[in-house]
Amino acid sequence: MAKALTVKRIERLLAIGAPGKHTDGDVKGLMLCIESKTSAHWILRFQVNHVIGHLGLGSARDVPLASVRAKARSAREKLADGVNPLAVKRAERATAAAAAAKRLTFKEAAERCHEALAAGWSSPHHAHEFISSLRRWVYPHIGNLDVAAIGKDEVLRVLEQKLRTGGTFWTAKTITADRTRNRVQRILDWAEARGFRAAGTPNPARWAGFLDQLLAKPRKIAPIKNMAAVPYDEVPPLMAVLAAEEAVGAQAVRFVIMTTSRLGEALKATWAEIDLETTEWRIPASRMKARKPHTVPLSPQAMELLRGLYREQGNPYLFISSKIAGTHIAETTVTDALRKAGRKETLHGFRASFKTWAEERTNFPSIIAELSLAHSVGNAVERAYRRTDLATKRRKLMEQWGRFVTSPPDAGTGTVVPLRKGAR
C-alpha cells in the first residue's frame, strides 16, 4: 500500500523537481504529478465502466494537501453515487464559458443600447447628451461591472458620488442626475430584454416605489423654472433694434421670433425647405422634436426678411456662417445677437411670448396657437380623428403675429401701436 503523502515530503519533492508520479495513500487514486521544478499538479485517477479517467485538481504549488484531499474525497463521493466527476467538471466549464460569452459590462451595454436607439433620437444633440452624461457620471463608477450585477448599491454609488465643488451628484446637479438615472434605467431595461440580465429582475434605477424612498424628490431640490421670456409687448421694440442690425445673428433672432420656431430648427433651415410660391417653410420630421413634419406659414414680414438674406453659392442654409464655408451659424452667434440687443431672456422664451400674446390679444382658439408651436394637442384618439393642421387659420394667426412684432413704436409715447383685438 502506498505511503500517505505529508506536507514536508511534498515540499521536498517539489524542491527537487524530479519528474514522476507520487501516489497518496490516504485517498485512493490521488497523485502528485511532478514535471519539473516549476511544474507540478494534482490528479485523481478513477475508473468508470472499465474506462480510466483522470480529474485535474489544480496546481501542487497553489492547492495544499488538505484541500486537495477534500476535493478528491468529494469526487469519490460522486463516483459512489454513479456520477462521473470529470463529466461534471466539463459541464461546469461549458456553463461558465456560456456565461462568459453572455457577459456584458455596463459600458458595453450602454454603447449598444445607444446605437440601437439611434434612429429614434429627436436630434444629434440629444443623442450626444445621452451618451456623454454616462461617460462623465456613470462609467467611472460602474462602467466595467457586469450589467447583470448592477443593483441598488451600484446605482446609488453613481447618484451619491461626491463632487469637488461640494455636495453629491443628486443634491448639487439634481436635474442632470435625474436624467442620468433615467438613462441608466433605460439601459438596464434594454439589457434585460436582450438577455444580459435575469428576466423579471426589478430595475434598481427605477424611481417610483424604489429610489423615491431613498432620495429626495428632484423637484423639491430643484423646482422647475420656466425659460425667461420677453414680455410680448416688448417684442416689437426689440425687433426694431434687431432690424437695424445687419449681422446674420440678429436676422436669425428675428426669424425665430416671426416663425415661433425652435432655435435648432431655424439654424438648420435650408432654402430647399422654403416654398417661395406658397410662402411656406416645410420642416422635415427628422429635424422636429416630435419627429413629425411641420409646415410654418410665412408672413409677408418673414418673406421680406428672407429676401434680404445673403446667399452663398453651394451653401444650402438660410443663415450662413462667415467662419466656416458651407455651414450655418452657431447657436452662440444668435444668443450673442440677442444679448447685444439688450435682452437677457432665452430664445426659446419667444415661443411663450407668442402664446401669451395669442391668448391675450386675439380671439383665436388655443389649439391654433398650439399647432403653430408644433405642439401635440389632445389625446391619441383626438389626434387620429383630426385630419387637418388648420393651416388656413394658422396662417391668419402668423400674419397677425408678423404685423404685431413689426409694429413701429408710437413716436410720442414710445409704446407699441396696438392692433385691433381679434383681427383675423
Distance between CA atoms of residues 139 and 156, nearest Å? 14
Cβ neighbours around 228 below 10 Å, total: 12
Task: Tell me the pLDDT band of 380, cut-offs 50, 70 and 90.
Answer: low
| pLDDT greater than 60 at residue 336 | yes
Distance between CA atoms of residues 257 and 416, nearest Å? 16
| pLDDT greater than 50 at residue 310 | yes
pLDDT in tens, 10-24: 999 999 988 999 999
| pLDDT greater than 60 at residue 61 | yes
Where is pLDDT greater, at 201 or 301? 301
Q: Mean per-residue pLDDT for 184-201?
A: 93
Task: Tell me the pLDDT band of 339, cut-offs 50, 70 and 90.
Answer: very high
Task: Identify the pLDDT of residue 414.
Answer: 45
Looking at the domain 7-102, which fold is it? Double Stranded RNA Binding Domain (3.30.160)
- 260 conformational bin, left if phi > 0, alpha if psi -120 to 50, beta if neither: left
**The overall pTM is greater than 0.75:** no
CATH 1.10.443.10 fits domain 232-405: yes
pLDDT in tens, 128-146: 889 999 999 999 999 999 9
Q: What H or E segment, with its residue span, contains residue 23?
A: strand 20-23
Task: Tell me the pLDDT band of 424, cut-offs 50, 70 and 90.
Answer: very low
| Domain spans of the chain, in order of start | 7-102, 106-221, 232-405
Task: Identify the pLDDT of residue 274.
Answer: 95
| pLDDT greater than 90 at residue 412 | no
Task: Identify the pLDDT of residue 211.
Answer: 95
Q: Mean per-residue pLDDT for 65-75?
A: 92
Identify the residue whose cell numbers are 466539463.
Answer: 90
- The fraction of the chain above a pLDDT of 90, given in percent, is 65
| pLDDT greater than 80 at residue 242 | yes
Q: What crossing angle do the helices spanning 65-80 and 85-102 adopt, rounded to 10°?
A: 110
Task: Identify the pLDDT of residue 335.
Answer: 93
DSSP percent split of the chain into helix, strand, coil, nearest 5 = 50, 10, 40
β-pair partners for 297: 280
Task: Tell me the pLDDT band of 385, cut-offs 50, 70 and 90.
Answer: very low
| pLDDT greater than 60 at residue 64 | yes
- The fraction of the chain above a pLDDT of 70, given in percent, is 89
- Comparing 57-66, 142-151, 408-417, the range with the smallest average pLDDT is 408-417
- Comparing 284-288, 333-337, 382-386, the range with the smallest average pLDDT is 382-386
* CATH topology identical between 7-102 and 106-221: no
Where is pLDDT greater, at 225 or 148? 148
Is the separation of the CB atoms in 296 and 259 below 8 Å? yes
Looking at the domain 106-221, which fold is it? DNA polymerase; domain 1 (1.10.150)
β-pair partners for 43: 31, 56
